Amino acid sequence: MSSAGPRPPFGARLARAMDRYGQLCVGIDPHPGMLKDWGLSDDGAGLQEFGARIIEASADRVGVVKPQVAFFERYGIAGMEALAQIIRTAQQAGLLVLADAKRGDIGSTMAAYAEAWLNPERDFGADALTVSPYLGYGSLDPAAAAAQQYGAGLFVLALTSNPEGQQLQLAQGHSDGEQSTVAGSIVTQAASSNAVYQDQPLGSIGLVVGATTAHLAGEHGIDLTTGSPPLLAPGYGAQGATAQQLRSGFGPAWPQVLVSSSRGILRAGPRQADLISAIESSRSDLQ
C-alpha cells in the first residue's frame, strides 16, 4: 500500500478508535472448520471471502481487527496473498489491523520481521504486531525502533491466558537488582519503551494479558497502568471470560484494554446480519 505521509503514533490512533467504537477487537481466524461451516472453499479464495465478510461487518462498528497469521500461513503463498489483501481492505475500510504473528528473534532478523509487518509500504504492513520477548526484552529493540519510525505498534506477550505460560511468566527473577516475576519485568521494560509516547493517551508498545489471567497481575504486584500501555486481552466469550471478569481482573487498567473476540463472533456467521448482531452484542456487553 502507499502511504500519504507519516502516521501518528499507533497509541494515539488506537485511543481515538477506542473512544469512538469501544474496546472490542474482532479476530479474523479462518479455521478450516469455520470455512466449511460458512460454505467457503478451503483455499486462498475462501480465505479472502471470509476476511471480506468480517471486514464488512466490522467497519464502522469496531476500531480494530486481528488476523491470526498462522491460519493464513498454512495455505502457503495463496494464504499469504489473501492475508495481504485482507490487510489492505481492512485499512481502506478505516480499521486498524493488528497482525497476530507473535514474531520474536534477535538483531537483523528481528529488524527484518519488523520491516515486513510494520512498514505500511510492505505487503503485510499492519498497524501493529504481536511479538514475543522471551529471547530477552532487549531483542525487541529493532521492532520498537521500527514501530516508532512507522507510527506502528507492538503487543508484547506478558501474561498470557494459556495455563502452561505461567510456569515461565510468573517465575521469579532479578531485574536491576530487584526481585520480580518475568511478566513483571516485561511490564516494567515496556513502560520504559513507552517513555517516548508519554504525551499520548496510550503508549504504542502494548502488552498481551489474557482475559482469564489479568487478576494474576494484581496478585503478583504487577502494575498494568504504568506507561499507559494498550492491553490486548484474548479469552473473552468463547474462551470463557465474561465482561465482568475483565473489568474486575484489570481493575484500574480497564480503560486501556482492547478485548479480542474471535470464535464468539465468527460462529454467528456466515450471514452478515448475524455477524453484525454478534458484534453489536459484544460491544454493548463491554461498555
CATH code of 126's domain: 3.20.20.70
- Give the percent of the chain with pLDDT over 90: 91
Q: Name residue, grid cell 469455520.
A: 34
Q: pLDDT tens across 218-236, in order?
A: 999 999 999 999 999 998 9
Q: What band does 4 get if pLDDT is binned at 50, 70 and 90?
A: low
Structural domain for 83, as ranges = 10-184+199-286
What pLDDT score does 2 carry? 44
- Within-domain flag for 57: yes
Least confident of 13-27, 71-85, 236-250: 236-250
What pLDDT score does 238 carry? 66
- Within-domain flag for 75: yes
Can you read off the three cell numbers belonging to residue 23?
474496546
- On the question of pLDDT at 5 being above 60, the answer is yes
- Give the percent of the chain with pLDDT over 70: 96
Q: What is the pTM of this model?
A: 0.95
Instruction: Please tell me the chain's helix, strand, coil percentages from 3-state DSSP, rounded to the nearest 5.
Output: 50, 20, 35
> What residues pair up with 202 in beta bridges, in sequence order?
none
Q: pLDDT tens across 153-206, in order?
A: 999 999 998 889 989 999 997 666 677 899 999 999 999 999 999 999 999 999
- Within-domain flag for 192: no
What pLDDT score does 174 carry? 66
- Within-domain flag for 89: yes
- Provide mean pLDDT across the span 27-46: 97
Q: What DSSP state is assigned to residue 261?
A: E
SS3 194: helix
Q: Name residue, grid cell 461498555.
A: 287
On average, the pLDDT of the chain sits at: 95
Q: What band does 57 get if pLDDT is binned at 50, 70 and 90?
A: very high
- Provide mean pLDDT across the span 242-260: 97
Show which residues are catalytic: 102
What pLDDT score does 177 carry? 61
- Within-domain flag for 31: yes
- Within-domain flag for 225: yes
- Provide mean pLDDT across the span 85-100: 98
Strands 128-131 vs 24-28: parallel, antiparallel or unpaired: unpaired
SS3 87: helix
- Within-domain flag for 5: no
Q: How many domains does the chain have?
A: 1
- Within-domain flag for 240: yes
Q: What band does 3 get if pLDDT is binned at 50, 70 and 90?
A: very low
